[in-house]
C-alpha cells in the first residue's frame, strides 16, 4: 500500500478534448487544469502565479468528463502512486491521470 496521494484542485482552462489512440482505438480525454497560488510579497503586495496541468482520463471516465465538463468549471483530480505506476505500464506519461 502506498501513502503518496495527490489532489489537484483548479479550473478548466478550455473545453475537454476527446481523442483516440490510432494503434488500438482506445478513447481518452485531455483536460487543461489551472491552479493558482497567491501570496503577499516583501512589499506587502499580493502576487499570484497560475500553473497549468495536463490531465488525461481514459475510456468511459474520459467520455463522461468530456460530456459534462466545460471551460471554467471547477476540476478536482485525485491519484496515488499506485495509480501512476499502473498507468505507466500503459503510457509513457505516468503523471497524467484523472
Q: Domains of the chain (ranges plus CATH)?
A: 5-88 (2.40.50.140)
60, 81, 93, 96 alpha-carbon torsion, rounded to 10°: 50
pLDDT at residue 41 in the model: 95
CA distances from 28 to 23, 37, 42, 52, 56 (A): 13, 29, 44, 19, 7
Q: Kindly state the percentage of the chain with pLDDT values over 70.
A: 76
Residue whose grid cell is 505506476:
85
Query: Residues 63-72: pLDDT tens digits?
Result: 998 999 999 9
Give CA–CA dist 14/54, Å, rounded. 11
Give CA–CA dist 69/35, Å, rounded. 17
| Residue with the larger pLDDT of the pair 14 and 24 | 14
Give CA–CA dist 21/49, Å, rounded. 34
pLDDT at residue 44 in the model: 95
Put simply, whether the predicted model's pTM sits higher than 0.75 gets the answer no
Amino acid at each position: 500500500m502506498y501513502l503518496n496521494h495527490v489532489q489537484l484542485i483548479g479550473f478548466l482552462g478550455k473545453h475537454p478534448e476527446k481523442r483516440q489512440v490510432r494503434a488500438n482505438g482506445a478513447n481518452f480525454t485531455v483536460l487543461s487544469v489551472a491552479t493558482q497560488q497567491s501570496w503577499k510579497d516583501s512589499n506587502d503586495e499580493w502576487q499570484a502565479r497560475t500553473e497549468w496541468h495536463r490531465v488525461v482520463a481514459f475510456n468511459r471516465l474520459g467520455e463522461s468528463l468530456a460530456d459534462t465538463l466545460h471551460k471554467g468549471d471547477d476540476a478536482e483530480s485525485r491519484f496515488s502512486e499506485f495509480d501512476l505506476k499502473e498507468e505507466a505500464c500503459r503510457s509513457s506519461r505516468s503523471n497524467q491521470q484523472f
